[in-house]
Structure 1
Amino acid sequence: MCDDDIHQGLVHDPRLSRRGFGLMTVAIGGLAATAAHAQDTVVEQDVQIKTPDGVADAALYYPKGKGAWPAVLVWPDVMSLRPVFRDMGRRLAAAGYVVLVPNLYYRAKKAPVIEGAFNFANPEDRAKLTPLRATVTPEGTDRDAAAYMAFLDAQKQTSKARKIGVQGYCMGGPLAFRTAAAAPGRIAAVASFHGGGLVTDQPTSPHLLIPKTHAEFLIAVADNDDKSDPTVKDKLKAAFDTAKRPAKVEVYTGAAHGWTVKGSQVYDEAAAEKAWAELLVLYKRALA
């Protein structure tokens, strides 16, 4: 989970109304052309996925036209599936992937789970997330991961001959680790962006799962997360070395927790684009 003391500031996305949910594309600065391209070349579907615990709502994306592409599972941050993560899914699909973005909290509420502005510095706002976060458990995540992998592999657009990638943001980082351990035969690439709780003193700590994976890792660490606990990156590097898993662990100097997510007060476009480019390089190399 994300540390509430290292929050991503004020988040405001005027597109979080249910009526407009899923209908908007990003059109900010130099990324407008990329978004327009994705809109023209990508199929988007709202899907329902049966899991052992219920029915998960999610968004599915894939390139238009005939063909089969490698699949990617995207675990969103603590505010779950919402327009900014739909934008990410659309953009990734435009690069040649079948992308699934699930709602973390389907056991309690359909997405979007938060509407309007949200301030992580406000205890009342943070309290809205507490019961939702409680529905996301290590055991439940393992069950969800298996269901999502099966769903992706059941899509005719997914190339079963290619490996699958998984990426997570904030609390989605640990979920990406768990997915790689739950499906080591399918997951070949794992990316975590400002992941919270990757190393803990609990037996369920995500870093303890690294030996169970067969993946290459990209760990992008927020500067203020690193300053809060600079030992995390070293423990991760040691765990990767011991498990002989290829990994890049990098602190993004000057980039605060949440820097990759547009709409956050701390969004850093230059650092976000660097992280995105690193992600595409990883997938191009690993998802063969």
Structure 2
Amino acid sequence: MGRLSGKVALITGTAGGQGRAAALAFAREGAKVVGCDMKAEAAEKTVELVRAEGGEMTSMAPVDLSDERQATDWVNQAAEVYGGVDVLYNNAALGRIGPLMGMSTDAWHFTLRHELDVIFFVTRAAWPHLVARGGGSIINTGSIIGGRGSDMPMAAHGTGKAGVIGLTRHMALEGGPSGIRANCISPGLIATEMFEQLMKDPNDNLHKQIRTSPLGRVGLAEDVAPLAVFLASDESSYITGANIPVDGGQTLGIGMSFGEAPQFAGAVPAISEAGGEELAIDTPDGLSQAWLFTPRTGAGPWPGVLLYTDIMGVRPLFKAMAQRLADAGYAVLLPNLFHRLGPPHDPPLSVRNSGEFGRLLSMAGTLSRDTIVRDSGAWIAALRGRPQVSAAPLAAVGYCMSGPMAVWTAAAHPGEVGAVASFHGGHLVTGRPDSPHRQVGDSSARYYFGCAETDAFMTPEHQAALGAALDAAGREHTIEVYPGTYHGFAIADASYHPEGGERHWQRLVEFLA
């Protein structure tokens, strides 16, 4: 007999990851597993895997657990078919991340509803069935973020998971007299499909998070499932109200170094010493610092270019990039995208530092299509007012987070911007109404997109959707993938790829000519 023989176990979110691993582990121990998920095809695949091993499992999908009626119906149908409920594993969750000040009310409510409300709905429906069996086990999925917070912008997610941990304790207190135990599993970094994509980049900040944990590796869904089996079994009959981390020691190791070498060496010139004519441009939201670069030889006027930075902002490196582009025959304006927050950080913040990366993400959350549209009008007017700038159509060039900003600029100013180039741009295709790919038809520009071969923020599916939108809009365009590169390949202090970086310069100059 297995450790869960005869027990009816309800598991939410069984289409993959920790839910699938738990379904397989529970079934191997003899449980009758009932799963659910929003993804019908993947959820059915889990059922097939369980049955292929000789286990017993049924599933309902799609089920939206944030809909109280659907959550209740799923629980009651399972109880009716199997005669009751012994174990409830609240695994499913879906949230939004981003800085607190940049998060919409809808995104905040979405996260709490899909991380906390779903547990409330399902548990309330299952509670009387557990009581009728003389008790049982409730297992909730929290997160180490819910207990200690994070220097990454995860306020809504952290709040939701803190709520899960607190709710678990109250379930234990209220359920004890009825024989109901409630415990919480709080995982650390667990491998997912997107996580694996990010980890392919040797410079991604996730590597540092792993290095600063005692076990020095990322967790797997299969690392979590055995604990869930234990908490579901009678072996844990005297454990309730506990919050148990499964994190490889990340909670202990945060901020510590386990053989990590310093990431930076050498002096970096101050921003004020790195060149360019500094301008103060009047925008609808106050003065914006910007720097104008022109060719070091020859006489103008030259075609104008708006050069947008990546998330690390204006810094000596980007000033050098602006000068290199200017020397190819352009008047290049490098604006401080974060001017509402003050001057550029000097020395600059880095994505290689986890604490600074969190601050950078929070800063990026203050930018939107609306802010860029307002700012770009002022920046364009400033360029047009300079004698060094010719009357030729302008170009907008963006990197990483500013790829979308270049597209938005062209859409907002179709009479001014004739060319847009984006390198390893992220979030060019989203589900939002203001998604950049939905805006290309509003412009009169031609487009070039240089994409990293491995980039979770610009996958082949995203590239195809972008290409289809450009085709539908009748816009001249090129989408090129740079072999062997990662997100940030064109920038020397990011995930730089020397060959890809030089090719990007060649393509950019050819495109703008």
Fold shared, TM-score > 0.5 on shorter chain: yes
Distance 1:275 1:66, change over 3 A: closer
* Corresponding residue number in structure 1 for 2:230: none
Residue 170 in structure 1 maps to residue 400 in structure 2: yes
Q: Provide the C-alpha distance between the structure 2 equivalents of 1:192 and 1:158, rounded to a whole number of angstroms.
A: 22
Distance 1:157 1:100, change over 3 A: same
Give the letter aligned to residue 9 of structure 1. Answer: D
Give the letter aligned to residue 292 of structure 2. Answer: L
* Corresponding residue number in structure 2 for 1:79: 312
Residue 272 in structure 1 maps to residue 501 in structure 2: yes
Write the mapping of 1:132-147 to structure 2, written as runs, cut at 5 A.
Answer: 132-147=363-378
Distance 1:156 1:262, change over 3 A: same
Distance 1:23 1:216, change over 3 A: same
Distance 1:201 1:186, change over 3 A: same
* TM-fit CA distance, 1:134: 2.3
* Corresponding residue number in structure 1 for 2:511: 282
Distance 1:118 1:227, change over 3 A: closer
Q: TM-score scaled by structure 1? A: 0.83
* Corresponding residue number in structure 2 for 1:88: 321
Q: Provide the C-alpha distance between the structure 2 equivalents of 1:207 and 1:136, rounded to a whole number of angstroms.
A: 18
Residue 151 in structure 1 maps to residue 382 in structure 2: yes
Structure 2 residue matching 1:68: 3-state secondary structure: coil
* TM-fit CA distance, 1:109: 2.1
CA-atom RMSD in angstroms:
2.3
- How many residue pairs align between the two structures? 258
* Corresponding residue number in structure 2 for 1:37: none
| Aligned partners of 1:15 and 1:83 also within 8 Å | no
Residue 256 in structure 1 maps to residue 486 in structure 2: yes
Q: Provide the C-alpha distance between the structure 1 equivalents of 2:373 and 2:265, rounded to a whole number of angstroms.
A: 30
Q: Provide the C-alpha distance between the structure 2 equivalents of 1:119 and 1:109, rounded to a whole number of angstroms.
A: 22
Give the letter aligned to residue 295 of structure 2. Answer: P
Give the letter aligned to residue 23 of structure 1. Answer: E
Q: Provide the C-alpha distance between the structure 2 equivalents of 1:215 and 1:187, rounded to a whole number of angstroms.
A: 6
Structure 2 residue matching 1:195: 3-state secondary structure: coil
| Aligned partners of 2:437 and 2:466 also within 8 Å | yes
Q: Provide the C-alpha distance between the structure 2 equivalents of 1:276 and 1:141, rounded to a whole number of angstroms.
A: 25
Distance 1:15 1:232, change over 3 A: farther
* TM-fit CA distance, 1:13: 7.7
Q: Provide the C-alpha distance between the structure 1 equivalents of 2:450 and 2:267, rounded to a whole number of angstroms.
A: 27
* TM-fit CA distance, 1:135: 1.9
* TM-fit CA distance, 1:130: 3.3
* TM-fit CA distance, 1:226: 6.0
CA distances 1:54-93 after superposition (whole Å, capped 9, x unpaired): 1111111012453211000011001111111101110111
* Corresponding residue number in structure 1 for 2:299: 66
Q: Provide the C-alpha distance between the structure 1 equivalents of 2:377 and 2:420, rounded to a whole number of angstroms.
A: 16
Q: Provide the C-alpha distance between the structure 1 equivalents of 2:265 and 2:379, rounded to a whole number of angstroms.
A: 27
Give the letter aligned to residue 411 of structure 2. Answer: A
Give the letter aligned to residue 21 of structure 1. Answer: I
Q: Provide the C-alpha distance between the structure 1 equivalents of 2:336 and 2:276, rounded to a whole number of angstroms.
A: 15
Counterpart of 2:442 (choices 186, 208, 212) is 212
Considering Cα pairs closer than 8 Å and 6+ residues apart, tell me whether 1 or 2 has the greater RCO.
Answer: 1
| Aligned partners of 1:220 and 1:249 also within 8 Å | yes
* TM-fit CA distance, 1:227: 8.9
Write the mapping of 1:9-48 to structure 2, written as runs, cut at 5 A.
Answer: 9=204, 12=264, 14=266, 16=268, 20-24=270-274, 44-48=276-280
* Corresponding residue number in structure 1 for 2:130: none
Give the letter aligned to residue 278 of structure 2. Answer: D
* Corresponding residue number in structure 1 for 2:423: 193
Q: Provide the C-alpha distance between the structure 2 equivalents of 1:105 and 1:269, rounded to a whole number of angstroms.
A: 28
* Corresponding residue number in structure 2 for 1:50: 282
Q: Provide the C-alpha distance between the structure 1 equivalents of 2:445 and 2:329, rounded to a whole number of angstroms.
A: 20
Structure 2 residue matching 1:217: 3-state secondary structure: strand
* TM-fit CA distance, 1:248: 0.5
Which entry has the higher C-alpha Rg, 1 or 2? Answer: 2
Write the mapping of 1:236-251 to structure 2, written as runs, cut at 5 A.
Answer: 236-251=466-481
* Corresponding residue number in structure 2 for 1:27: none
Q: Provide the C-alpha distance between the structure 2 equivalents of 1:67 and 1:78, rounded to a whole number of angstroms.
A: 31
Give the letter aligned to residue 281 of structure 2. Answer: I
Distance 1:114 1:127, change over 3 A: farther
Distance 1:117 1:225, change over 3 A: closer
CA distances 1:88-131 after superposition (whole Å, capped 9, x unpaired): 110111111000111111101211366365426x2x23221233
Give the letter aligned to residue 429 of structure 2. Answer: V
CA distances 1:162-185 after superposition (whole Å, capped 9, x unpaired): 111110000110000001011111
Counterpart of 2:453 (choices 205, 209, 223) is 223
Give the letter aligned to residue 78 of structure 1. Answer: I
Runs ≥4 residues deviating over 4 A: 3-8, 10-17
Give the letter aligned to residue 63 of structure 1. Answer: P
Structure 2 residue matching 1:201: 3-state secondary structure: coil
| Aligned partners of 2:425 and 2:458 also within 8 Å | no
Distance 1:12 1:99, change over 3 A: farther
Structure 2 residue matching 1:63: 3-state secondary structure: coil
